[in-house]
Amino acid sequence: MSYGRYTDRVARLPREAFRPSPIFLGLVALFVITGWMTWAGFGNLKINVFVFVAAGWTISLCLHEYAHAVVAFKGGDHDIAHRGYLTLDPLKYTHPLLSIVLPLVFVLLGGIGLPGGAVWVNHSAVRGRFVDSLISFAGPATNLVLAVVLVLPFSLGVAESSHLEFWAALAFLAFLQLTASVLNFVPMPGVDGGNLLYPWLSPQWQRGFNHVAPYGMLLLIALLWSPMINTWFFGGVQSIGDLLGMPADYVSLGYGFFKFWSF
């Protein structure tokens, strides 16, 4: 496709294709309001922490999928804008259940930032294998960047004990971003880490990959139920968290506040 045809096609896209959806803006507003309520100690602190973390986690899921979509759009799949993926609207995803509901359930059950998977990309329209890999890389990289940003107050010594609930909630949210990033980078079919390698595999390996990919997420979940693998995983996440300056005691405290039902 020539540059002129490309720019004409992009120019024909309505502004709504790039405008943040009301749902996403509502999530941001909820995140800010409950963050302030947690900071100020207004209302029920455990409920505030729960909504603050849940809203922040859902926002990060939207940003994760948006990162995939925007790289795909820049890389040649211009129809991705028509599918609504550049509006940050979780209802536009191919599998809202897998990308939003299931990750939220796993946070509730075990405090694990489970990766989702929802943006459908026309890989035949993408310009080259490197860009194809970059599309898969963009999602977990976003979670990693968010983890670093959320940890900054702790690594810089800004966090104060006088607003313990807020800082604990922030630490737990950072922990979720880190777990999501680590899980997403696992080189398994059906997960971003595996999809990152896929363009570089031989046709024979790609055929095998395609057979396993639909069950990759279920296999990853099953592996996490293994006590040994679970210990390795959380130990590895904590080691990375220590390097970033993520306080383990604040993470545990934040998870405790998040579970408002366990008074």
Exactly one of 16, 65, 160, 165 is catalytic; which is it?
A: 65
Task: Report yes or no: 112 and 224 within 8 Å, Cβ to Cβ.
Answer: yes
Q: Exposed, middle or buried: residue 145 (CB in 10 Å: 0-12, 13-18, 19+)? A: middle
Cα separation of 233 and 163, whole Å?
Answer: 30
Long-range contacts made by residues 144-149, C-beta under 8 angstroms, separation at least 24?
144/177, 144/178, 144/181, 146/60, 146/63, 146/174, 146/177, 147/174, 147/175, 147/177, 147/178, 147/181, 147/244, 147/246, 148/244
Cα separation of 16 and 242, whole Å?
Answer: 42
Radius of gyration of the chain (CA): 19
Instruction: Say which residue the tokens 């609504």 belong to.
Output: 84
Task: Report yes or no: 113 and 104 within 8 Å, Cβ to Cβ.
Answer: no
65 is catalytic: yes
Task: Report yes or no: 94 and 120 within 8 Å, Cβ to Cβ.
Answer: yes
Which residue from 173, 169, 80, 174 is spatially nearest to 122, judged by alpha carbons? 80
Residues annotated as part of the active site: 65
